[in-house]
Every structure is written in structure tokens, then in C-alpha cells.
């Protein structure tokens, strides 16, 4: 059976070098992916955060795009991208870093030896492990991003006035303290732990399928041996990465919807913040299942090219550019 290059290092590297590569290469890949997906993410957050006690402002993704473009222009869709760029770098580097730590945990358990390729079940676990730990890094960053994307105040011209990164940080700390930055942590935890199990798991599953298909199409043993150590063709890497992004976003989208609604609530108001379950119940009572999946289509659509680029960039840097 062919082995995957992602689990067959070209040369042995120290743990420090591996960690450094996860952080540096993961940051680069995350930033590339964020630039691709950010306008779609802005639309998604605006669709998700519509109040449950008022008529819907947007009828769907296209209407949200149209209204947003009319009000703020194309650059308005990139409003507040500075924090998300930092967040994308932190998120993606943390995911790859903790996924590697998850593999070390699996090896340390004694269930699998280091000289064998981990089975897919173990790789789904390492993905969940990575997502669980990354959620604690990501929640404060996403809270700032969501509040910038969905401003609650208006300027003199009546248009929504986006707060700055520092003003959001200042207000959250002033009214809610350090704890306020982790408002919505439960939603992020559920989305990241479950979603990242699917993100890494789907990518590795699709990759393995391609290796098996390529192995069967090889005519000689020499060709099979070469395929076992070579990277997949670029289009197959893209399909594997795209399948990861689509699985991640679709399976645990309701948790993300609830989180976005929690994180776009006004800061410092008289209304007490709802818990994850209270917010979910209110949304369910008002809009049912459709409310939980509002904005899902556009999110899954934008995640395909974004995740494809993330994995292509990360795997390529790991293979061809050692630190």
C-alpha cells in the first residue's frame, strides 16, 4: 500500500524544527487562505447575526453582497481584515502545530508505532485534538473580527460605523473584563474540535483514496515505489484540500452560527449576555433549522478554494523549503 508524503518525512527533523515549520508555514498558508475567503466570511457573519426579533435585513447571500457593496463598496467587504489576518496566521499555525502534538500523543499511547503510517481513525482524532486546543487561541480573535464585521453603531450619514480593533478590545475589557474575550468559547470549541476532525480527516481520507487509485494505475513496481514518495498531482491536492474545507464548514455550522450571534451582541448594554444554549434555543424558536444554517451555502462554497490553497501552500513549503 502506498504511503503518504505527509507522513513520510524526507529527512529526520528535530521537534523544535518541526514546531517552527508548523508555525511559520502554517501562518503563511493561513494568510493566503484568509485573503481568498474574507469577503465571503463578511457576508456569512452578517447573515448569521441578523436579530431574531426583527424582520430579516438580507434575503440571502446575493442580496447581502448587493447591499454591502452598495453601502461600502468592494473594500467594505474587507473591513476589519487586519485582525483576521493575524487570526488566520494564529489559527492555521496552531492547527498544524497541535495536530503534530496530537500525533505524538497517539504514538505515546503505545497503540501505534512510529515506523508505521497512522490509520485514518487516528488522524481524525489528531484533528479533533488540534481543534480543541486551537479554539482557546481563536475565540478572542474571532470575537474582535465579528464585532468589526457587524457594527452596531451608525455615523452622521446614517451608515454603519465600523469600530477599530483597539476600540473593540477596549470596550470588551471595560465592560466584561478578560473573561469577555472568550464569550462564545463553547461554540468555537464545538466547531473547531468537530470541524477540525473533519478538516484533517477528510483531507487525509481523500489523499489516501487518490494514492490508492494512482497505485492501481501504475504499471510497474518501480512506478508504484515512485508514487509512494512523490507528492500528489496539484489538482488532486486541491481536491483533497477542498473536501476538507467543505466538510469542516458544513458538519458543525450551527455551532458557528450561534457563536457569531453571541459575539456580535452589543458590548456594555443592559441586556445580559446569553449562554451558548440560550442563544441556540432563541434562534431555534424563531427560525428553526433554517436559522441555524443561515449562510451555510456561501460558507461551504468559499471554503473549497481557501482550504485547497492552505494545504497546497503548507504541504509544499514543508516538502520543498526546510527551515
Walk along the chain (323 residues) and give the pLDDT tens digit of each residue: 344 545 544 455 777 888 899 999 999 999 999 988 888 888 887 887 777 667 788 878 888 888 888 887 877 788 777 777 888 899 899 999 999 999 999 999 988 888 888 999 999 999 999 999 999 999 998 898 888 877 666 666 666 677 888 889 999 999 999 999 999 999 999 999 999 999 999 999 999 999 999 988 888 888 888 887 888 999 999 999 999 999 999 989 999 999 988 888 877 665 678 889 999 998 899 888 888 998 888 889 889 999 999 999 999 999 888 77
pLDDT recorded at residue 322? 79
**Hunting for cell 487525509 — which residue is that?**
204
Global confidence as pTM? 0.78
pLDDT recorded at residue 59? 79
184: which DSSP letter?
A: T
pLDDT recorded at residue 158? 62
pLDDT recorded at residue 41? 81
How far, CA to CA in Å, does 135 sit from each of 21, 191, 263, 265, 298?
A: 21, 8, 14, 20, 23
pLDDT recorded at residue 274? 85
139-192 pLDDT per residue, tens: 998 898 888 877 666 666 666 677 888 889 999 999 999 999 999 999 999 999
pLDDT recorded at residue 159? 66
**What is d(CA 229, CA 227) in angstroms, rounded to the nearest whole number?**
5
Residue 207 near residue 4, CB atoms below 8 Å: yes
Scored b (16 or more CB within 10 A) or e, 173-205 reads eeeeeeebbbbbbbbbbbbbbbbbbbbbbbbbb
Residue 76 parent element (H or E): none
13: which DSSP letter?
A: -
Amino acid at each position: 500500500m502506498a504511503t503518504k508524503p505527509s507522513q513520510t518525512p524526507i529527512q529526520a527533523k528535530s521537534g523544535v524544527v518541526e514546531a517552527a515549520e508548523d508555525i511559520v508555514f502554517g501562518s503563511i498558508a493561513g494568510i493566503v487562505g484568509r485573503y481568498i475567503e474574507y469577503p465571503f466570511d463578511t457576508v456569512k457573519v452578517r447573515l448569521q447575526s441578523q436579530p431574531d426579533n426583527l424582520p430579516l435585513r438580507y434575503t440571502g447571500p446575493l442580496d447581502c453582497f448587493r447591499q454591502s457593496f452598495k453601502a461600502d463598496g468592494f473594500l467594505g467587504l474587507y473591513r476589519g481584515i487586519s485582525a483576521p489576518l493575524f487570526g488566520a496566521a494564529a489559527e492555521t499555525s496552531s492547527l498544524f502545530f497541535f495536530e503534530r502534538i496530537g500525533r505524538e500523543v497517539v504514538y505515546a499511547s503505545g497503540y501505534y508505532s512510529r515506523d508505521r503510517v497512522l490509520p485514518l481513525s487516528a488522524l481524525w482524532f489528531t484533528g479533533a485534538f488540534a481543534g480543541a486546543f486551537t479554539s482557546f487561541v481563536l475565540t478572542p480573535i474571532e470575537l474582535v473580527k465579528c464585532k468589526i464585521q457587524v457594527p452596531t453603531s451608525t455615523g452622521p450619514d446614517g451608515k454603519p460605523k465600523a469600530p477599530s480593533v483597539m476600540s473593540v478590545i477596549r470596550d470588551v475589557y471595560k465592560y466584561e473584563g478578560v473573561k469577555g474575550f472568550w464569550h462564545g468559547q463553547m461554540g468555537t470549541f464545538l466547531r473547531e474540535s468537530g470541524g477540525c476532525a473533519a478538516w484533517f480527516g477528510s483531507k487525509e481520507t481523500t489523499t489516501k483514496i487518490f494514492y490508492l487509485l494512482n497505485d492501481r494505475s501504475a504499471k510497474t513496481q518501480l512506478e508504484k515505489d515512485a508514487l509512494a514518495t512523490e507528492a500528489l498531482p496539484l489538482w488532486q491536492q486541491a481536491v483533497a484540500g477542498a473536501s476538507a474545507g467543505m466538510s469542516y464548514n458544513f458538519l458543525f455550522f450551527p455551532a458557528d452560527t450561534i457563536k457569531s450571534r453571541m459575539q456580535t451582541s452589543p458590548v456594555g448594554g443592559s441586556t445580559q449576555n446569553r449562554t451558548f444554549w440560550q442563544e441556540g434555543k432563541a434562534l431555534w424558536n424563531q427560525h428553526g433549522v433554517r436559522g441555524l444554517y443561515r449562510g451555510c451555502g456561501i460558507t461551504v462554497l468559499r471554503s473549497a478554494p481557501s482550504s485547497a490553497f492552505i494545504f497546497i501552500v503548507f504541504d509544499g513549503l514543508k516538502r520543498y523549503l526546510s527551515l
